[in-house]
Structure 1
Amino acid sequence: MELRVTSGWRSADEQRQVVRDTITRYGSEQEAHRWVLPPEHSAHVQGLAVDVGPTEGAYWLDEHGAQFGLCRTYDNEVWHFEPVIDPGGTCPARHPDSTWGW
């Protein structure tokens, strides 16, 4: 099983570009907001998020991440994890998507 970091810390400018790219990809702000947060709410900009791959590795981390203090925080993003608990704790309920932060 392979697990690698595909994205981590981003500057606010990089996050703004991710937002623009996602709007272009999905064709609307409404749909893009399901997948990406503005810089002021992004855990990536705060240095508190990591995206992982490949998918098999992400599913492994979803199953075992709590022992390391890492939790998947969005239902629609199997690859996105944040350190929201102490190692060995219980992960909180996930957000359905990123629309909460807009």
Structure 2
Amino acid sequence: MKRGELYRVYNGSKNDPKKYRVFVIVSRQILIDSKFSTVTCAPVYSNYDSISTQVQIGIEEGLKHKSSIHCDELISIPKTLLTNYIGILSEEKLFELKEALTIALEIEY
């Protein structure tokens, strides 16, 4: 399991009409490799609103169509639910993800 990997996860939420949702792992690698049972993930949606906290992804990352990672909607997911591997982000997309997370969390250097 690595940062930037995409997984399809069963969604038991009553607020989301989709039975499954794709998520991207955004936790740092040391946490992913640790004994902690959860990792922080960002959801993937088919819509893209051209805002700085979204990263466009698509077929190159293993998806069926163009989509976007929404960094304003981070969620903690148990590692045991991350079993349906879809793909992984390229180095370029990982950099875009880092930038979007920095903006979403208003982190200043």
Q: TM-score range by the shorter chain?
A: under 0.3
User: Please, what TM-score do these two structures have when normalized by structure 1?
Assistant: 0.23
Q: If each structure's helix is expressed as a fraction of its own residues, which one has the higher value?
A: 1
Q: If each structure's strand is expressed as a fraction of its own residues, which one has the higher value?
A: 2
User: Please, what TM-score do these two structures have when normalized by structure 2?
Assistant: 0.23
